[in-house]
Amino acid sequence: MTYCVAIKVNEGLVFAADTRTSAGVDDVRTYNKLHVFEFPGERVFVVLSAGNLATTQTVIAHLRRDLEDPNALTNLRKVRHMFDAAEYLGSLSVKAQRETVAQMQVGSTLDLRTTLILGGQIQGEEPCLYLIYPEGNCISTSPETPYLQIGESKYGKPILDRVIRPPVSLEDAARCALVSLDSTMKSNISVGPPIDVAILPRDALRITHTLRLDLDTPLLAQLREAWGLQLVNAFRNLPRFEWELPEAQQSLLDDQSY
């Protein structure tokens, strides 16, 4: 299983992903699910992946191969707009799935689909995020939903819904992404560290900060502890039921004294 999240705020984009690909009792494996394609000062792209690992590796290999091929009809350096990049990535994903199916035995039930998030910025355009479905079509973020998730998304969604708004700072968006991942890891063992984080400020046209955080990394350990304690404290300070209030308890005692 996988969990990746990408957030768009006014200041730029934040990307975060776990690295766990299997979580058996004696077989825990990791693989990088956050891939950066950077052309400083011109354009930068980040790809997050969830789904069949072989298909994902084929897509990333095609992206790199096309970049190295001067005769390629299109690649990430030639596309004019972010939407064109999303369509190109979607077509590579569909092609990779078809190629893998063709190489397999007829009747195989293996799920070869992959779901991708593409984010980045091309000089002269706004930073953008696109969710690319296995079928190759895509959707983008909106002011009402300024984030995208793939993989095991349900556990980390509530904190994103409560916190993420366009005016939120990049640093707060990154902290929210980490809390979202921590909440997911707490509830699902198939999502696990190390966690990769990348931050792309608006118009920087390069990734300015990258982090790889394991459970014993001080920042992640402190964040996990602080978040857990604050949740418990917030729970303890929730409004009381009427029968728990001091005046209600005193009234009950008075009634019992008759």
Per-residue pLDDT in tens (0 to 9) along the chain, 258 residues = 789 999 999 999 999 999 987 544 444 556 889 999 999 999 999 999 998 888 999 999 999 999 999 999 999 999 999 999 999 999 999 999 888 777 665 555 677 889 999 999 999 999 999 999 999 999 999 988 899 999 999 999 999 999 999 999 999 999 999 999 999 998 888 888 899 999 999 999 999 999 999 988 999 999 999 999 999 999 999 998 888 887 655 565 555 555
Residues contacting 32, CB < 8 A, separation 6+:
19, 196
* Helix H or strand E segment including 38: strand 34-39
Model pLDDT, residue 143: 86
pLDDT recorded at residue 27:
46
Q: How far is CA 170 from the centre of its chain?
A: 15
Span between the terminal Cα atoms of the chain, in Å: 62
Nearest to 134 by CA among 47, 64, 51: 51
Give the pLDDT of residue 254: 59
Contact 45, 37 (CB under 8 A): yes
Tokens of 60: 């990333």
Buried b (16+ CB within 10 A) or exposed e, 189-222: ebbbbbbbbbbbbeeebebeeebebeeeeeebee
User: Which residues have CB under 8 Å from 88's CB, separation 6+?
Assistant: 74, 75, 76, 79
Contact between 227 and 182 (Cβ < 8 Å)? yes
| 107 class by beta-carbon count within 10 Å (0-12 exposed, 13-18 middle, 19+ buried) | exposed
